[in-house]
Structure 1
Amino acid sequence: MRRIFTLATAALLLATLPAPAQKQADASLAAHVRADMDFLASDELHGRGSITRDEHLAAQYCAAVFEGLGLKPAGDDGTYLQKIPVDLSGMSARGKQRLAVYEDAPRNETWNAVAILPGTDPRLKDEVILLTAHLDHLGVLKTPVNGDAINNGADDDASGTTAVLNLARTLAAGKAPKRTVVFALFGSEEMGGYGAKGFLAKPPVPLQNLVANLEFEMIGRPDPLVPNGTLWLTGYERSNLGPELAKHGAKLVADPHPKENFFMRSDNIALARKGIVAQTVSSFGLHTDYHHVTDELRTIDFPYMTSAIAGMETSVRWLTDTSWRPEWLPGGKPDPNPAPPAAAPPVTK
């Protein structure tokens, strides 16, 4: 039997389809997300171990993306890379435990990939939005687990690195932002946040110009404790940043795991202790692949991850163009000089 469609039916069907430009943009984002993840979490990068050659290769990849987008280099000597010295003798106990799992001896340095998208508004261009993630992971184990020795770190934190790369692509392709945007992908977070600390020691812009920092960490899988398609923000109750982003398109809610103290466990904390409103976007649902060799590409929910990145684009764009400034709420600003942490428990693999 032939199907007969009325004009009204056809119009209704067309109205439910994405516009060609939007459909093309969605497909482009999905392709970029897949390509970035395929490289960063591949076996060929051997788990991007902190202060190793493989971490350096990951940083070079990110630098190449920034250069290809026409962003301004913000690393050493006119490049997109910052070399940060690491004093292995002064490493924390947890860092030394991480170091012990590596197959190869690490270098004496770590690497950040850093780029700038200059603002255009004379009144706002000296204000800076900082978008960050950490590009390293745990590298190669000395003793394989079920025949696998590579800690690929697909969710932790190839997913966050991929988010920053793709937000850079989006912002660079659209209308130039009013505020300046700095993209920084830090090395050696797993060893004790050396990349972030090095960035603070030689920032590409004055630290007092930093209005807000959004760190992206572990967004490759949905958290079952929050609504479908939702991300959460560490320290949501500490500042007015999360609620304001949510008003402007971000599907952001409070961290459903307050006992885990994630606000203190990502690179954002180094910036927050300097007074910068710095918080981490995540969807880590405490999955059991965390810091294990099973954190691989096959565990990533690519449709979710792609939609999560796309869902942040509008609010990030708003943040780069508004004159509104986030603030710590009473009692929310972390202590700049906390007491030294207790000895870290042994790292299990």
Structure 2
Amino acid sequence: MKIVAGCGFRSIQRLLAVALLASVVDAGAQQGWVVRPEWVRAHEEFLASDALAGRGSATRDEQIAAEYVASEFVAYGLKPAPGMSGMIQAVDVVAPDLDGKATLTAGDVSLAEGTDLRVLFPSGVGANGPLIRLAAADAPQANIPRGSIVLLTDLPPNTNGLRNSFFLRGSGAAVVLFAENDALRAYLAKNPHPHQLMRLDQELGDTTPLPATVAAVSATAMARLLAEKPGTVATLTVHALLAKPRKTYNAIGYLVGSDPAAGTILLSAHLDHLGTVSTPANGDAIYNGANDDASGTTAVLELAHALAAGPQPRRSVLFVCYGSEEAGELGSEFFGKHPPIPLSQLVTNIEFEMIGSQDPKMPKGTLLFTGWERSNLGPALKEHGALVGPDPYPEQHFFQRSDNYQLALQGVVAHTAAGWGTPPTYHQANDDLAHLDLGFMTGAIQSLVEPMRWLATSDFKPSWNAGGQPKR
């Protein structure tokens, strides 16, 4: 063996590792690709490590995760997407910060922050619009007049109202109000400073409405607001402090297909999580996010690994890991506004979310596929060997709660493949490597390799079923 002068032992190790990987890739291309459990574990050990401090949205730790994903894309032989010089899409975001002296007035009602009003997630601007009443169960499908101030009523028992309100953040509503209850107070006791939602820095000419401000009011104040005549004009006044500029990061790799007219497949996940909290749970302040969504990121990485190692597909494939999903799906929102290829050329999008554990309601080894009944994509993948099946939690509206939804709203047939829909570790400090089912993860990814290869080489184009495409 010829050794380059000055090349140390670690460099020799790297050269040997590259040679070994090349032989594995060649064997995989010849004999059928095998997803190695040690590869799955290696991604998780880095992405979900304490060193990355939970990969908080729009933080340096998220950037490190994005750089890791991008470096793996390079190692697999992927190229920058059209129009990009590298594999990182840096996105300007705004994290509004208020002075804590907001007020809300409507008719004879006047509320002040710190007494009857608690601003939880601000857009950073005030609002002036009509009061509208909306039952929480109707929030996912509600058609809200732009600029409205929504009174969210009939919250399900033992819920804090946050999840119900989030369905309305991108609806065009200016403000969403709900009554403070014991569940919200318990949540805020554990999270005295709720995970701050952000928004994209609004670009010149962008008329997209800002996300709604989410606030809680006392039960007495809610009763007074509900006593006002529907349509009464309400005014929220806030005082925003100067916000420090921040960025979030999308990692994007591109596998070039042989037929430019055949379209492009998008395989995606989100690489951020919740970061750290000020109040540790059993001494642990880091929300590692091993399942949410380092597991989905791992799926994207290993599918890129497999497809890049085989024959060139007919269709191109974009592999994207978004930043700031936890802060309001900002990475995917920006991608949807600035795609490296026209969205009209996207054949489909499959998002991978929390595939780190088996859902007890699903057949053994099977991922749930959100919005199964909305298009013909899930059944087609299952027919070609993918271990996927209908989502058993329609009441949870998972289809609307992941990055796929941003593109689905724009007409792309886009779904999410997930493991356990509501695992005990969801948004908890124990979402770590020790609580992953790596065997399930590996098997699920393996089952997707050949179906993805089929999708990338066939002329099958997924389509929405009647009434399946969501509307804004």
Task: Report if TM-score (shorter chain) is over 0.5.
Answer: yes
CA-to-aligned-CA distance 1:68-119 (integer Å, 9 cap, x gap) = 112111388511000111122374986993128xxxx986110000011011
Return the match for 1:199 from 316, 325, 335: 335
List per-residue Cα deviations over 1:240-284 (Å, max 9, x = no partner). 000011111111110011111000000000000000000000012
Q: Tell me the residue number matched to 2:142.
A: none
**Contact 2:92 2:245 survives alignment (8 Å):** no
**Match of 2:360, SS?**
coil
Residue 255 of structure 1 corresponds to which residue in structure 2?
391
TM-superposition CA deviations, 1:173-221 (whole Å, max 9, x none): 0011100100110000000011001111211111110010000000001
SS at match of 1:99: coil
Whether 1:330 and 2:337 are equivalent positions in the alignment is no
1:217 aligned partner, one-letter code = E
1:4-60 CA distance string (max 9 Å, x none): xxxxxxxxxxxxxxxxx679954x621211100000000100000001110000000
Q: Which has the larger radius of gyration?
A: 2
- The answer to whether the 8 Å contact 1:69/1:169 transfers is yes
**Among 235, 240, 246, the residue aligned to 1:108:** 246
For residue 450 of structure 2, give the secondary structure of its aligned residue in structure 1: helix
1:97 to 191, 194, 198: 194
From 41, 44, 64, the counterpart of 2:51:
44
Q: What SS class does the counterpart of residue 84 from structure 1 fall into?
A: strand
Secondary structure of the equivalent of 1:171? helix
Deviates more, 1:193-202 or 1:235-244: 193-202
2:75 maps to which residue?
68
Equivalent-residue separation in structure 2 for 1:269 and 1:24 (angstroms): 33
8 A contact 2:94–2:245 mirrored in 1: no
- The answer to whether the Cα contact below 8 Å between 2:359 and 2:420 also exists between their aligned partners in 1 is yes
Matching of residue 276 in structure 1 with residue 412 in structure 2: yes
Structure 1 residues 308, 216: closer, same or farther in 2, change over 3 A? same
Flag the 1:214–1:106 CA change in 2: closer, same or farther, 3 A: farther
Task: Give 1:121 deviation, angstroms.
Answer: 2.8
Equivalences for residues 122-137 of structure 1 within 5 A = 123-124=261-262, 127-137=263-273
Query: What is the TM-score when the length of structure 1 is the normalising length?
Result: 0.84
Correspondence for 2:41 among 25, 34, 45: 34
Task: State the distance in 2 between where 1:194 and 1:255 align.
Answer: 25
Identity of aligned residues (%): 49
CA distance in structure 2 between the aligned counterparts of 1:122 and 1:36, rounded to whole angstroms: 32
How many residues are treated as equivalent by the alignment? 309
Query: Could you say if the C-alpha distance between residues 106 and 155 of structure 1 is closer, same or farther in structure 2, counting changes exceeding 3 Å?
Result: farther
Give the secondary structure class of the aligned counterpart of 2:41.
helix
1:214 is aligned to 2:350? yes
Corresponding residue for residue 223 of structure 1? 359
Task: Note the residue ranges of structure 2 that are not aligned, 5 or more in a row.
Answer: 1-26, 97-121, 125-164, 170-192, 198-242
SS at match of 1:304: helix
Verify: 1:297 aligned to 2:433, yes or no: yes
Please state which structure has a larger fraction of its residues in helix: 1
Amino acid at match of 1:226: M
Deviates more, 1:281-290 or 1:85-94: 85-94
State the Cα distance separating 1:135 from its structure 2 match: 0.2
Shift of 1:299: 0.4
| CA RMSD between the two structures | 2.1
**Aligned CA distance change for structure 1 residues 85 and 29 (closer, same or farther; 3 Å):** same
* 1:347 equivalent in structure 2: none
The answer for the alignment partner of 1:121 in structure 2 is 259
CA–CA distance in structure 1, aligned partners of residues 282 and 326 of structure 2: 23
Q: Which runs of 5+ in 1 are unaligned?
A: 1-20, 338-349
User: Match of 2:305?
Assistant: 169
Letter of the 1:108 counterpart? R
Which residue of structure 2 aligns with residue 82 of structure 1?
89
Question: CA separation of 1:134/1:122 partners in 2, compared to 1, >3 Å: closer, same or farther?
Answer: closer
CA distance in 2, matches of 1:301, 1:106: 39
> Does the CA contact (< 8 Å) of 2:95 and 2:196 recur in 1?
no
Contact 1:230 1:252 in 2 (8 A): yes
| Partner SS, residue 348 of structure 2 | strand
CA distance in 2, matches of 1:195, 1:91: 17
**Deviation per residue, 1:265-315 (Å, 9 max, x gap):** 000000000000000000124122100101110000111110110011111
TM-score, normalised by the number of residues in structure 2: 0.63
What is the alpha-carbon distance in structure 2 between the residues aligned to residue 323 and residue 110 of structure 1? 35
1:102-143 deviation digits (Å, cap 9, x = unpaired): xxx98611000001101113542xx01000000000000011
Residues of 2 paired with 1:304 and 1:75: CA distance?
35
